């Protein structure tokens, strides 16, 4: 692997991760796109050495075709994912006027419950009898 491939992978993953942690779905989609490219470069760079195109009959050292086949599939799937994500972002915008991910209401309620005091066992049930 060359120093350039190494650096490129590092930057693509860092930028992609940074964008994934945003609230705007458009930015998240961009992040998915960047990180997808990073993954593809990673598979090619770590899976084989550079060489001639793997076509039988060519002169010289041929590159390994297997990672290429994997990455080719990955590129297409990444496109499908990105398209779906952008449609979600667009839909969100059409309906709510923004493309931001909201906090999960249920999870926020757990946080609030934690602030109340915990009690042994469960809460008394209305049908409970006094003993």
CB of 40 to another protein, least distance (A): 7
C-alpha span between 50 and 66 (Å, rounded): 13
CB of 58 to another protein, least distance (A): 9
Each residue 31-50 as x (binds another protein by CB under 8 A) or -, in order, gives --xx--xx-xxx-xxxxx-x
Each residue 104-123 as x (binds another protein by CB under 8 A) or -, in order, gives xxxxx-xx-xxx-xxxxxx-
Residues shown for the chain? 131
Each residue 4-23 as x (binds another protein by CB under 8 A) or -, in order, gives xxxxxxxxxxxx-xxxxxxx
Residues 72-111 that bind another protein (CB under 8 A): 72-73, 75-84, 86-91, 93-95, 98-101, 103-108, 110-111
Is residue 3 part of the contact set for another protein (CB under 8 A)?
yes
CB of 92 to another protein, least distance (A): 9
C-alpha span between 110 and 96 (Å, rounded): 26
CB of 126 to another protein, least distance (A): 10
If you write DSSP's letter for every residue of 24-54 in order, what string do you get?
BHHHHHHHHHHHHHHHHHHHHHHH----B-S
C-alpha span between 12 and 91 (Å, rounded): 28
Is residue 59 part of the contact set for another protein (CB under 8 A)?
no
Is residue 131 part of the contact set for another protein (CB under 8 A)?
yes
C-alpha span between 124 and 115 (Å, rounded): 19
C-alpha span between 26 and 28 (Å, rounded): 5
């Amino acid at each position: 692997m060359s120093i350039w491939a190494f650096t490129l992978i590092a930057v693509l993953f860092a930028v992609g991760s940074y964008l994934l942690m945003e609230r705007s779905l458009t930015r998240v989609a961009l992040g998915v796109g960047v990180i997808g490219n990073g993954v593809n470069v990673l598979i090619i760079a770590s899976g084989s050495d550079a060489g001639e195109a793997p076509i039988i009959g060519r002169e010289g050292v041929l590159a390994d075709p297997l990672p290429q086949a994997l990455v080719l599939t990955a590129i297409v799937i990444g496109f499908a994912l990105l398209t779906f994500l952008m449609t979600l972002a667009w839909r969100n915008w059409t309906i709510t006027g923004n493309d931001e991910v909201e906090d999960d209401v249920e999870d926020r309620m757990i946080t609030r419950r934690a602030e109340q005091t915990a009690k042994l066992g469960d809460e008394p049930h209305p049908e409970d009898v006094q003993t």
